[in-house]
Every structure is written in C-alpha cells, then in structure tokens.
C-alpha cells in the first residue's frame, strides 16, 4: 500500500540524542511563579478573562480565543494572578509580549474537569470543539491550533492520519521518550483523531534511529486494525509534514496547498498525546515534555514541565549549566531560535531547550558564494537557495520569490552544508520579513484609501445636507415674505 518514495535532498546531521533519550521523562517541580504569554500559538492573541489578583485553579481558563484561528490559555497550576501585562517573551528579539504572571499556591488543585464518558460515542465536531477549548496547538514547534486542522480535515476526505514521530532535529528526544513511555495514550489519541476525521487508516511514522519507540508503538497498536507503524529513514528534515507525506504516501502536497489536498492529516506525536489527554481526561494543555540538552547541561534529559515555567528552573533540575553556554536555544539546533535569557518561560511550542557549548556551534566567518550548488542538492524542497540569497542580497525580493522563496520551509539544510558559511536562512528570514512588511504596508495603503474615499463621500454628503438645509431655510425665509407681499 505504501510506496516508499524517497524525498529529495536532506542532510544527516550528528544526532546527539543518546544522552537525553537514555533517561526517562522526569517531572519538573512546581516553580513559585509561572509566566504565561497570551500568544503561544499561530493566530490572534488570546484575550484575558480574569482580573489581576484573581484566584485561579489548575486548568481554569485564563484567556479565551477571540477568533477561530487562535487558542485559549489555561492556568497550569492553582494560585493567584499577580500581573497582566508585558512579560519577557521567548523570542530572539528580547522584546516583551503581553502575558500573565501566576503565583502558585503550591496546592496544585484542579478545577472541576468535564470528562466525557466515551469520546468515541460523541459527535466528531463536538470532539473537535473540545480540542479547541483545551487550547491544544501543534507541539512539534509549528504551534498551529490543532482544532483548526481537525475542523479543516473534517471538511475533506482524509484517507490517512499521519502521526509524526520522526523527530529529525538533532538533540531532541521528547517525542521519542513520549512514544516509548506513553505509547498506549498516543495510539489512543491517534484513534480519536481517526474518529473525528473518519479517516480510513492511521500511519505512525518514526525514524529508524529510534528502535525502542518503534517497538513500543508497534506493541501498543497491535490490538487495533488499520494502524501501521512505519520506520522512515533518519534524515533531516523528515519531521517536516511535506517531506514526511512524500516519504510515506509518495505524493507531494501541491505548492500553496495543505496536506488535506492529498488526503492526509499530520499531527505530531506530542500533539496527539495532548489531544488524547483533552478528550479522555478533559485536561487542557498545561504541560508538555521538553528535552533539556546541550554540552553545557549537566544532566541532559526529558522533563515534563508546566507551561510557563522559567527556563532557568528547567536547567537547574537537569544538573544546572556547567559553563556559560555559547548559544541558548529554544527548539532544535536546525530550526530553533536564540533565547534572550534564561528568565523566559517555556511555551507550548517548546520542543527543547539547548545550551550549546563552544565546540557545538560553528563559528566561521562567511565567505562569498562559490556556486558549488551543495545547497541545491541539499534542499528538500528542490529550490535554488544560492540564487534566492544572491537576489535577497541586492533586495530583489520578487526575484528571490520567483527562485523559490515562496516555497522555502526555512529548514536550514542549505546553511548546514554551505562551505562558504553563508547565513542563507537568515537571508530568507529577512526576505520573508520584508515581504510581510510590504504586504502589510499595501494592506494599510488599501485601508487608508478606503477610509479617505469614505471620508470624501461623507464630507460631500454633509455638504449636500448643509446646502439642502440652507436652501430649505432660505425658502422658509422667503416664503412668508411672499405671503405678505400680494
């Protein structure tokens, strides 16, 4: 049934997973304060529903989603909201974002949870709404609201639910450990998603460098039909949905389209687990498994932590930082972002926290491109990164777009192989940012145009009304005179 077509390009970076994957998932102790940014998902910022000083229980809704494309925020523990306002965001810029600060009371008391008796008996759309209410977003780093995907999928005919357990980024092993230790829950979650989408089958794809996870998932899916656990080759970026779909189904997602266009819906293993927790136990997404690793971490391992826990606390519980890290990252080394400090909180999309040592981070000055076309060979999207970068360098954004910027997934394979050490990904980030800027400027331009046209129309109307009133007044003034005159 499965045509194991190979994906093009890709790289084989050193995995560095052994140390963190060897230890079981540890529970992170409750920190004194939790910092909760209001936007931990793709889409609109959540709107606070509680006041400063309010006492909240664990799992209580703190901020609701204003639009479809958004996700609510729940209290990870019980305590008091001591501040609502700007907090330091886990973002490379070090800027602040709106958020809440929750002072934990240590009781960790749950709110009354609405636990469905048998989710399989419930209406699929109601289940999708439950996922939305639980604030589940893509935990692989994409942070796209899971319910939006489910609802979208419900409108299409979905053949396959693809559980993405490939985890191709070096260092990260949180999905690996999750699949090993909570295989039944992940399989249950996958079956719930299958139920929601009425999909025909489930495929669980795991890279072949995780034999333990493969075995565990195979054992857990044994009792059910229509679940297939496939080993995919360990290759970066296998975890990217488009590449994984191509590998597993042999079909390519059309450019500009979604995976539903080829009858597949992809969810990360961590997300599947979170969905299972929401549907089986009514628990909103308030915690996740995070890999804490890197050469500067004393005791690299996976930790299940509450959302909002400061990064420093996680490093402390993993043996502390041995040295001043050369690079502090949120996510994996390929697509992760630099953290401005260790004070920032863990968010829903945090797959890993890396404190990389000097020898782990390449630091070479970049040289001119020699057009060796290694980036072309490595690009999993079949683009020409060198041409895109050359055009971005001279700010020819349309040219860059034409050479593939619009299809770029920013996976970083090109930068990884570049012998000239050109920061290709940063060029593309810059170009994408500039295009966003242009687009928003054009939107604003249109908006302003509409506004000024509306204003002109209104002024003309007012003028006409005034003139009419004046004329009426004049008529009134002249009419009585006429009456007298004869």
Partner 1 sequence: MLGAILVLALMGLLLGGGLGLAARYLAVSEENPLIKEIEALMPGSQCGQCGYPGCSAAASALVEGRAAVTCCPPGGVALAERLAELLGVPLDAGAIAAPVLARIEAAECTGCMRCYRACPTDAIVGASGQIHCVLSNACTGCGKCLEACPEDCIALAPQAPTLDHWRWAKPQAA
Partner 2 sequence: MEYALFLIGTVLVNNVVLVHFLGLCPFMGVSGKLDPSLGMGLATTLVMTLGGLSSWLLEHYVLLPLGIGFLRILSYILVIAGLVQLLEMIIRKASPPLYRSLGIYLPLITTNCAVLGVPLISAREGHGLAEAGLFGLGSALGFALVMVIFAGLRERLALASVPAAFAGAPIAFVTAGLLAMAFMGFAGLI
Partner 3 sequence: MSAQGIAAGPFAHDRSSVDRIMLHVCLALLPATAWGLYLFGWPAINLWLLTCASAVACEAVCLYLLGRPLRRLLDGSALLSGWLLALTLPPWAPWWIAVGGSVFAIGIGKQLYGGVGQNVFNPAMLARVALLIAFPLQMTTWALPLPLGAEGAPGWLEGLRITFAGGTLADGLSGATALGQLQTELTLGHGAPQILAEHFALLPAFLGYSGGSLGETSELLILLGGLWLLALRIIHWEIPLGMLLTVAALAALAHQINPQVHGGGLFHLTSGGLLLGALFIATDPVTSPISRSGRLIFGAACGGLIFIIRSWGSFPEAVAFAVLFMNALVPLIDRLCRPRAYGRNARGKPLVAAKWTSQVKEVDKV
| Binding to partner 1, residues 72-111 (CB under 8 A) | 89, 91, 93, 95, 97
Beta partners for residue 353, in sequence order: 292, 330
By beta-carbon proximity to partner 3, the closer residue of 299 and 426 is 426
Full DSSP string of 409-450: ----HHHHH-TT---HHHHHHHHHHHHHHHHHHHHHHHHHHH
- Gap between the terminal Cα atoms of the chain: 103
State the binding string over 270-309 for partner 3 (x if CB under 8 A, else -): ----------------------------------------
Beta strands in 60-214 (DSSP E): 61-64, 73-74, 79-88, 96-104, 160-165, 201-207
Residue 393 sits in the site that holds partner 2 (CB under 8 A): yes
User: Do 62 and 73 touch, CB atoms closer than 8 A?
Assistant: yes
Pick from 303, 352, 438: nearest CA to 29: 303
The option from partner 1, partner 2, partner 3, none interacting with 381 (CB < 5 to 8 A, set by class) reads partner 3
Pick from 339, 292, 354, 304: nearest CA to 76: 304
Q: How far is the CB of 418 from partner 1 (least distance, A)?
A: 11
Q: Which of 1, 117, 394, 477 binds partner 2 (CB under 8 A)?
A: 394
By beta-carbon proximity to partner 2, the closer residue of 324 and 395 is 395
The option from partner 2, partner 1, partner 3, none interacting with 391 (CB < 5 to 8 A, set by class) reads partner 2
Residues 29-68 interacting with partner 1 (rule: CB under 8 A): 39
Cβ partners under 8 Å of residue 103, min gap 6: 32, 33, 79, 80, 81, 82
Residue 120 CA to residue 396 CA, distance in Å, equals 53
Q: Which of 365, 480, 481, 483 binds partner 1 (CB under 8 A)?
A: 365
The option from partner 1, partner 2, partner 3, none interacting with 102 (CB < 5 to 8 A, set by class) reads none
The option from partner 3, partner 2, partner 1, none interacting with 394 (CB < 5 to 8 A, set by class) reads partner 2
Pick from 336, 48, 2, 25: nearest CA to 174: 25
Neighbours of 31 (CB within 10 A): 23
Q: How far is the CB of 410 from partner 2 (least distance, A)?
A: 22
The option from partner 1, partner 3, partner 2, none interacting with 455 (CB < 5 to 8 A, set by class) reads partner 1
By beta-carbon proximity to partner 2, the closer residue of 253 and 390 is 390
Residue 365 sits in the site that holds partner 2 (CB under 8 A): no
Residue 82 CA to residue 76 CA, distance in Å, equals 15
Residue 371 sits in the site that holds partner 1 (CB under 8 A): no
Query: Which of 13-21, 233-241, 246-254, 390-398 is the region at the interface with partner 2 (rule: CB under 8 A)?
Result: 390-398
Residue 259 CA to residue 265 CA, distance in Å, equals 6
Query: Which of 232-240, 313-321, 351-359, 364-372 is the region at the interface with partner 1 (rule: CB under 8 A)?
Result: 364-372
Pick from 185, 249, 172: nearest CA to 217: 185
Task: Give Dmax (Cα) for the chain.
Answer: 112
**Which residues of the shown chain bind partner 2 in the complex (CB under 8 A)?**
368, 390-391, 393-394
**Which residues of the shown chain bind partner 1 in the complex (CB under 8 A)?**
39, 89, 91, 93, 95, 97, 365-368, 392, 395, 422-423, 426-427, 429-430, 432-434, 436-439, 441-442, 444-445, 447-449, 451-455
């Amino acid at each position: 049934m499965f045509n194991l077509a190979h994906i093009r390009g890709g790289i084989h970076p050193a995995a560095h997973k052994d140390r963190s994957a060897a230890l079981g998932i540890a529970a992170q102790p409750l920190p004194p304060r939790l910092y909760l940014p209001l936007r931990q998902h793709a889409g609109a910022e959540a709107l606070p529903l509680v006041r400063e000083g309010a006492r909240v229980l664990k799992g209580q809704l703190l901020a609701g989603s204003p639009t479809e494309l958004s996700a609510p925020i729940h209290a990870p523990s019980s305590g008091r909201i001591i501040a609502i306002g700007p907090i330091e965001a886990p973002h490379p810029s070090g800027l602040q974002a709106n958020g809440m600060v929750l002072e934990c009371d240590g009781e960790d008391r749950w709110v009354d949870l609405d636990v469905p008796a048998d989710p399989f008996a419930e209406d699929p759309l109601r289940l999708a709404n439950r996922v939305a209410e639980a604030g589940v977003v893509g935990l692989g780093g994409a942070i796209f609201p899971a319910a939006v995907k489910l609802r979208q999928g419900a409108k299409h005919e979905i053949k396959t639910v693809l559980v993405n357990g490939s985890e191709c980024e070096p260092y990260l092993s949180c999905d690996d450990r999750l699949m090993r230790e909570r295989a039944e829950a992940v399989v249950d979650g996958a079956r719930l998603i299958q139920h929601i989408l009425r999909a025909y089958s489930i495929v669980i794809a795991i890279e072949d460098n995780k034999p333990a996870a493969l075995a565990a998932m195979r054992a857990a899916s044994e009792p059910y039909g229509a679940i297939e656990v496939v080993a995919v080759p360990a290759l970066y970026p296998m975890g990217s949905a488009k590449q994984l779909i191509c590998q597993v189904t042999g079909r390519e997602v059309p450019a500009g389209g979604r995976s539903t266009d080829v009858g597949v819906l992809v969810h990360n293993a961590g997300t599947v687990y979170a969905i299972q927790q929401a549907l089986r136990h009514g628990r909103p997404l308030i915690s996740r498994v995070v890999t804490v690793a890197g050469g500067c971490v004393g005791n690299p391992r996976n930790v299940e932590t509450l959302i909002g826990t400061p990064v420093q606390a996680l490093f402390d519980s993993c043996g502390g930082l041995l040295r001043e890290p050369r690079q502090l990252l949120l996510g994996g080394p390929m697509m992760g972002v630099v953290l401005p400090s260790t004070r920032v909180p863990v968010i829903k999309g945090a797959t890993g926290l890396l404190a990389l040592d000097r020898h782990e981070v390449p630091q070479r000055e970049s040289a001119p491109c020699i057009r060796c076309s290694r980036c072309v060979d490595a690009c999993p999207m079949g683009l020409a990164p060198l041409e895109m970068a050359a055009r971005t360098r001279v700010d020819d954004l349309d040219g860059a777009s034409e050479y593939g910027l619009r299809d770029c997934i920013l996976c970083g394979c090109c930068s990884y192989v570049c012998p000239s050490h050109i920061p290709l990904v940063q060029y593309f980030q810059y170009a994408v940012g500039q295009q966003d800027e242009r687009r928003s400027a054009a939107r604003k331009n249109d908006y302003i145009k509409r506004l000024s046209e509306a204003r002109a129309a209104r002024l003309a109307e007012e003028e006409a009304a005034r003139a009419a009133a004046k004329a009426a007044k004049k008529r009134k003034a002249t009419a009585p005179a006429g009456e007298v005159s004869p």
